[in-house]
Amino acid sequence: MSNIIQPLTSLHLSEKSPEQDFGQLKDSIIFLSNFPQKNPAPVFSVNNNDELIYFNQSAKPLLNDWLKKYHALLPDHFFEKIYKVLVTRQETIIEESWQDNHYLFSITLGAPGTVNLYGTNITELKKTQDELIYLSNHDVLTGLYNRNAFDKALRQAIVDTGEHQQMCGILLIDLDDFKSINDSFGHHVGDELLITVGRFLLEQTRKEDVVARLGGDVFAILMPRISIKQSAEKLAQSLLDRFTRPIKLENHLFQATISIGIAIAKPSETDSITLLKNADLALYHVKNSGRNNFKCFSDNIQQKFQRQVTLQSTLIDSLHNNDFYIVYQPQYQLPDNTISGLEALLRWHHPELGPVTPDEFIPISEKNGTIIELGLWVLENACREYMVWHKKGFIPKSFKLSINLSPVQLQSESFIASLNNILQVTNMPAKNLEFELTETAVMTNTVELDSILSKLRQMNISVAIDDFGTGYSSLSRLKDLHINTLKIDKSFVKDITTDKDHNAIVKSIIALGHSLNLKVITEGVETKQQLETISHHGCQFVQGFYFGQKPLGSNEVLKVLKKFSQR
């Protein structure tokens, strides 16, 4: 008679033998009654001799495939779990894939000396799980890796640098002026642009590189196992070159540019947080230096950033502690060289860093908004000092006090009210006040400036365009804005006697100003030859070191004014 129990290594599935004693048959009937044959999931039972003693119809295809694949009815990795249940008498589970299906088997104690294996089809659950894993590691819009996956890859790459004594590099990539594209053409076009950028990045990188979208318009590339930092710089340059070509989206051509910050991790030298911070600092440096370029992090960038942070955090305290002061540069009228006005210039002597130039602290104050308070301080104190000189009788009636204004100040809703208050408190005559705006500020803030400049005209305050010739002026805008003065940038004056082009530019600006009935002041006059050339072109007002005075403090101004009043 054949035995109903078959070893698990058998190549055939046997049927139950009818020849058993009554006790065995009774146990089998009770045992089998717990396993419905029509269960759609595989169910089978194994005894402690590694023999298969029961299986349902759903288990047959799976067992046959295992038999072909492993030459056994159960894979070897099932045995460890089965033995564990028999010993510990506690349930355990094991996951198994078969064809396109995934099963989770629960292994539990059955009749004495046996275990039962109940399979549950988890294919759909597995698909959902895989989708969730994909979404947790990928950007939904572009299909690139997301920040979470990038951070994991970066941490592993840094570990590998120590093991393989190689470097890894990261490139942080920011899409320049992306907000303007979103605002002008809509978010759907912006999304298409981001998708296109992601595709470009993948096209330019190696298989082992990790390309990710960290959020918004910021992308990142991880370059594991590079031997020299020039590999990262070469990739950055190839990306810049790729973006020189216009991008066509929905019948629109976009000249998109990118800025790139690079950081390199040497073996066992940098952690992931520091490396990302360094790349971000390099990117920040590029954005502040004109964009559409790349920069590799260096100690110099770190030092500049630390200095900037120090200046930003101490700026207002320095204002309250009188670390700021005002100096004045005289303006002269030709041909008799009489003083006709003063330009107020702000200076900062930092208690720790020493002298800080306006070119350094003005952009910082504009960015964090402290330029509002700083500008009002300059305006009030310059007006007060002007009135001191005026009361002493040293100020002619047409004498102008020029003060530089930032576009940020003009965009402040309280600017006009604050200006009126200062004029009232100081008794400063509005007709003797002139505000200077750079050419770039005037031409790039037209909508905001129109109403402000109109109010200034109504108050009888003059407006001058500073650094004229360095921006992109529209002649119609010059006329529409009703400004009073053009100030020719000193960069043209420097070589006016040796550079024919600069000489022609200065001559043309003077003629343009006079044709529009504007006052023209030439800045940066330092030599007699420059003065004679400018005078020959018909300019009546100049400013510069030729007259021997560097910017003057309040007491020095008083002496100069007194000297000219006695002529």
Strands 51-55 and 6-7: antiparallel
Q: How far apart are CA 325 and CA 329, in angstroms?
A: 14
Q: Is the pLDDT of residue 433 over 70?
A: yes
Helix, strand and coil content of the chain, in percent to the nearest 5, comes to 50, 25, 30
d(CA 282, CA 311): 19
Task: Give the pLDDT mean for 487-501.
Answer: 90
pLDDT at 425: 96
pLDDT tens-place string over residues 99-144: 788 889 999 998 888 999 999 888 888 888 888 888 899 999 999 9
Question: Average pLDDT for residues 455-482, to the nearest whole number?
Answer: 79
- Given pLDDT bands bounded at 50, 70 and 90, which one contains residue 8? very low
pLDDT of residue 566: 67
Domains and CATH numbers, the chain: 6-125 (3.30.450.20), 138-297 (3.30.70.270), 308-565 (3.20.20.450)
What is the predicted pLDDT for the residue at 474?
60
pLDDT at 390: 92
Is the pLDDT at 73 greater than 90? The verdict is no
Least confident of 31-45, 506-520, 523-537: 31-45
Distance CA 270, CA 264 (A): 9
Q: Quick one: pLDDT at residue 182?
A: 85
Give residue 248's region: left, alpha or beta (phi > 0; psi -120 to 50): beta
pLDDT of residue 254: 83
Residue 205 vs residue 548, higher pLDDT: 205
Percent of the chain with pLDDT over 70: 90
> Distances in Å between the alpha carbon of 220 and those of 169, 269, 286, 525?
10, 21, 15, 49
Q: Which residue has the higher pLDDT, 71 or 223?
A: 223
pLDDT at 444: 66
Residue 35 has pLDDT above 70, yes or no: no
What's the rounded mean pLDDT across residues 474-503? 84
Per-residue pLDDT of 250-280, as tens digits, reads: 888 888 899 999 999 877 667 899 999 999 9
Task: Name which residue leads in pLDDT, 475 or 276.
Answer: 276
Q: How confident is the model at residue 76 (pLDDT cuts 50, 70, 90)?
A: confident
Give the pLDDT band of residue 12 (cuts 50, 70, 90).
Answer: very low
